[in-house]
């Protein structure tokens, strides 16, 4: 079972407001929409590290702790878990701020794995793009 924090960790990478168009039939924000926001945030984070294109190759286990209401501000925080030869593992936490109560609550967290790719879509080393010249 995953443990959840009492406050966000990592870098605030993406923030948006939930809209009625993103709801499931019960009026809560669709989990797939939340996962898409997480993927965008993780890709931004991995792109900054790789200095180039990345593609999502895996998503680790996720647990949704609570439904997300319409009108909540959703914030995705990212942190690097591991940098491999061609891949980057990113932790993504999702927090919401309820616009009525102003309470900040964690919704979910997950691990996303991205591979650095070149212009032809083939994997490439991450380190060749992160090393600085003397």
pLDDT digits (tens, 9 = 90+) for 28-70: 999 999 999 999 999 999 999 999 999 999 999 898 999 999 9
pTM assigned to the model: 0.89
CATH homologous superfamily of 11-129: Hotdog Thioesterase (3.10.129.10)
* Beta-sheet strands, E only, within the chain: 11-17, 54-59, 73-83, 87-97, 104-116
Number of neighbouring beta carbons within 10 Å of residue 5? 12
106-110: average pLDDT:
96
Q: Report CA 90 to chain centroid distance, whole Å.
A: 8
């Amino acid at each position: 079972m995953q443990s959840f924090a009492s406050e966000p960790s990592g870098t605030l990478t993406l923030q948006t407001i939930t809209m009625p168009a993103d709801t499931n039939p019960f009026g809560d924000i669709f989990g797939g929409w939340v996962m898409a926001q997480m993927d965008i945030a993780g890709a931004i984070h991995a792109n900054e590290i790789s200095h180039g294109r990345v593609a999502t190759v895996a998503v680790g286990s996720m647990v949704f702790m609570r439904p997300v209401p319409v009108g909540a501000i959703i914030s995705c925080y990212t942190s690097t878990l591991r940098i491999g030869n061609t891949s980057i593992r990113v932790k993504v936490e999702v927090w919401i701020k309820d616009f009525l109560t102003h309470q900040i609550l964690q919704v979910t967290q997950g691990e996303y794995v991205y591979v650095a790719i070149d212009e032809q879509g083939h994997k490439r080393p991450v380190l060749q793009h992160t090393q600085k010249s003397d």
